């Protein structure tokens, strides 16, 4: 991998990780369109450490409060009813599905799941689901002629059942094109949570999964010696800087705006990708042989 490729891929990772459009799909597509080697699941996982570090810094006060309350709840029974302590447990519970499925389907994630036809399908299908979830949320928020405004749930109402559902939604993002934030936010909206609450828990839930995946890939990459460390670290730093700016913008955006622009973008990109593969402009396995 060249330094220029790592610059572009780091920018793509930072720009797309927190938006509901799938960073793994965009890294894969950027390489395919540019005629580069597929950066691979390992590169994606490692650069996500950069964007997840941005999450740790942006939500540092929330994270510090949750960790502190969770540890105190282990020895203090009175703390077990504290919201922050419960959030610590719910993040652990919600992380279980992706941990189990990530290990179980590791070979598929690094191989067949990166087929461009599958990515096109997931872009479109998840886009439609996000659109439905967004419309339902908007209907509750504004009401209607024969419909009263419906109060949506906050994270204080999050329980084990909903935490597991969030976790299952997050696990779907193991398939490129689904989008971690897109799947978990859609799940949250369909369960009746407010947009900001769904996004906040989505970001917190991603922390253990992404860091564990990145560290796991770091270990494997170190043993195999197949990673270009200089460009990969450079891309990770770029992803961190851009990702932090995107989080700040996105959290403000979702408080007042609809997700529909992302829905239209996902569907359009999926259709274009199908057309390019169908006409032979792109091979569904473009770059894989060398990636």
Which 3-state string (H, E, C) describes 220-273? Answer: HHHHHCCCCHHHHHHHHHHHHHHHHHHHHHHHHHCCCCCCHHHHHHHHHHHHHH
Number of structural domains (the chain) is: 1
Question: What is the rounded CA–CA span in Å between residue 36 and residue 227?
Answer: 15
Q: What is the mean pLDDT of residues 130-153?
A: 85
The reported pLDDT for the residue numbered 36 is 86
Find the range with the poorest average confidence among 110-114, 187-191, 256-260.
110-114
Query: Does 18 score more than 80 pLDDT?
Result: yes
The reported pLDDT for the residue numbered 66 is 95
Residue 58 domain boundaries: 3-34+43-279
In a domain, 285, yes or no: no
The reported pLDDT for the residue numbered 144 is 65
Question: What is the rounded CA–CA span in Å between residue 103 and residue 88?
Answer: 23
Query: Does 31 score more than 60 pLDDT?
Result: yes
In a domain, 288, yes or no: no
The reported pLDDT for the residue numbered 146 is 65
In a domain, 214, yes or no: yes
133: exposed, middle or buried (C-beta count within 10 Å: 0-12, 13-18, 19+)? buried
In a domain, 141, yes or no: yes
What is the pLDDT confidence band of residue 290, given thresholds at 50, 70 and 90?
very low
Place of tokens 């996004």: 199
In a domain, 284, yes or no: no
The reported pLDDT for the residue numbered 279 is 93
Residue 283, φ and ψ in degrees, nearest 5? -80, 140
267 with 124: CB under 8 angstroms?
Answer: yes
Place of tokens 């282990």: 74
In a domain, 198, yes or no: yes
* Mean per-residue pLDDT over the chain, rounded: 88
In a domain, 287, yes or no: no
Find the range with the poorest average confidence among 49-63, 77-91, 205-219.
205-219
In a domain, 90, yes or no: yes
The reported pLDDT for the residue numbered 291 is 36
Question: What is the rounded CA–CA span in Å between residue 198 and residue 191?
Answer: 9
* Tens digits of residue pLDDT in 51-76: 999 999 999 999 999 999 999 999 99
* Tens digits of residue pLDDT in 165-208: 999 999 998 888 999 999 999 999 999 999 999 999 999 999 99
């Amino acid at each position: 991998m060249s330094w220029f490729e790592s610059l572009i891929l780091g920018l793509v990772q930072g720009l797309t990780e927190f938006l509901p459009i799938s960073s793994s799909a965009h890294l894969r597509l950027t390489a395919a369109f540019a005629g580069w080697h597929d950066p691979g699941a390992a590169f994606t996982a490692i650069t996500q450490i950069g964007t997840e570090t941005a999450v740790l810094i942006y939500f540092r006060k929330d994270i510090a409060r949750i960790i502190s309350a969770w540890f105190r709840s282990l020895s203090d029974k009175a703390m077990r009813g504290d919201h922050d302590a419960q959030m610590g447990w719910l993040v652990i519970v919600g992380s279980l599905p992706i941990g189990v499925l990530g290990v179980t389907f590791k070979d598929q994630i690094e191989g067949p799941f990166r087929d461009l036809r599958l990515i096109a399908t997931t872009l479109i299908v998840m886009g439609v689901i996000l659109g439905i979830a967004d419309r339902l949320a908007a209907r509750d928020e504004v009401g209607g002629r024969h419909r009263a405004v419906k109060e949506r749930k906050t994270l204080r109402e999050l329980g084990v059942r909903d935490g597991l559902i969030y976790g299952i939604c997050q696990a779907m993002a193991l398939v490129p094109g689904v989008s971690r934030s897109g799947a978990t936010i859609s799940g949250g909206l369909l369960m009746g949570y407010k947009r900001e609450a769904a996004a906040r828990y989505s970001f917190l839930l991603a922390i253990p999964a992404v860091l564990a995946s990145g560290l796991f890939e770091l270990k494997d990459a170190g043993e195999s010696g197949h990673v270009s460390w200089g460009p990969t670290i450079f891309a990770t730093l770029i992803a961190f800087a851009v990702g932090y700016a995107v989080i700040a913008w996105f959290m403000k955006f979702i408080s007042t705006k609809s997700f529909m622009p992302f829905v239209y973008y996902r569907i359009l990109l999926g259709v274009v990708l199908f057309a390019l593969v169908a006409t032979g402009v792109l091979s569904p396995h473009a770059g894989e042989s060398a990636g």
